[in-house]
Amino acid sequence: MMKMNRKALAFVLIAALVLTFVSGCATRATGEPHDPVAQLSWFGKLFVTIDEGLNIHNFGWTIIILTVLLRLLLLPLDIKQKASMRKQTALQPKINAINAKYKNDKEKASKKTMELYKEEGVSMFSGCLPALIQLPLFFAFFAALRNVAGIEIFQMYQAGADASVQSWLWVHNIWQPDSFLSSVIPVFKDLSAYEIFRNTTLTQTVYDAAIAPLATKFQGVTNGWFILPLLGGATSFLMNRITMPQPAAPTDKDAAANPMNSKMMQYIFPVMSVWFCATSNAVFAIYWCTSNIMGILSFLVIDRVLTRRENNKAMLIENPRKKGDIL
């Protein structure tokens, strides 16, 4: 079982690297080196296709729709993860007994624990699978949306006085971070982050002159209110709290010293979420917040359904006559 888990883990990690690389790679143009269409990656083209196909023309709402669809596709894995976690929680008393019995023989305790999992049909890997699948999606979305952002900013620069800025609710420009520290129009020094600008001979003077009408329009205006970064951190924290099983009480000093048993681990990822959403464009922050909210809702619904199913099963075992009544 361990060998199969390692092979599956290796496959997912390799898939993550490939997906991340491909999602950020743009198709090079054979003619004009900075043709926006040719610069889009295939994942970026997917966003554009959905946005135009559904006649939305706002990437803020398009990314919400796409994220909801992806979370629905991952729902079977979420169900499997929750079922596996409930089984592991039910086995915790037996695991504690094993650890207590073999407290001086860690190798023996680990072996007995794996035997218990095998006897009960519980796979430790199944609980991690959804997270491992979402990890490459995270990097793929990040790379693709940065790719699309570069194209949108390049087209804004080309349009000059005729350029428009795509907004979403309180965010003035969705291709800039939702932050009171971010300007609505990207400054010249930030263009180096986008592939499409890296090989140009564009100077700051030319760029500033081209976007001067927009810069004047939004002079003194901040791009957002820092709502999405805070929402991203809050939803990450809430999701960790409700989805992560409470760690078992340590049985020895080594377990107590294990940093993975520390509550500090519950705060690291939410803080990282705030940082990612605060430094990335608002479209990515919208994706991350939507994904977290969908994850929380699906977990609560699945947990309720599984609880009801287990209660019904327990009632049938205690009183077999009710089985006929139910049927």
pLDDT at 220 over 90: no
Q: Out of 73-87, 105-119, 129-143, pick the least confident.
A: 129-143
Residue 247 phi, psi (nearest 5): -65, 145
| Residue 270 belongs to a domain | yes
Quick check: 80 and 126 in contact, CB under 8 A? yes
Residue 183 phi, psi (nearest 5): -80, 155
| Residue 296 belongs to a domain | yes
pLDDT at 2 over 50: no
pLDDT at 31 over 50: no
Q: Which domain covers residue 296, as residue numbers?
A: 226-327
Looking at the structure of the chain, the number of domains it has is 1
pLDDT of residue 265: 64
| Residue 171 belongs to a domain | no
pLDDT at 100 over 90: no
Chain centroid, CA 310 distance in Å: 30
More confident of the two residues 138 and 259: 138
Q: Which pTM does this prediction carry?
A: 0.78
Chain centroid, CA 213 distance in Å: 36
| Residue 169 belongs to a domain | no
Mind listing the pLDDT tens digit for each residue in 178-191? 999 899 999 898 88
CB atoms within 10 A of CB 191: 19
Q: Out of 65-79, 159-173, 301-315, pick the least confident.
A: 301-315
More confident of the two residues 215 and 35: 215
| Residue 261 belongs to a domain | yes
Mind listing the pLDDT tens digit for each residue in 130-172? 666 677 777 887 888 888 888 888 888 888 878 888 999 999 9
Residue 1's pLDDT band (cuts 50, 70, 90): very low
pLDDT of residue 282: 95
pLDDT at 124 over 90: no
| Residue 231 belongs to a domain | yes
Residue 173 phi, psi (nearest 5): -130, 110
For 288, the token pair is 């991350």
Residue 222 phi, psi (nearest 5): -85, 155
Q: Quote the Cα angle for 138-57-65, to 5°.
A: 40
Quick check: 247 and 265 in contact, CB under 8 A? no
| Residue 126 belongs to a domain | no
| Residue 135 belongs to a domain | no
What percent of the chain is modeled with pLDDT above 70? 73
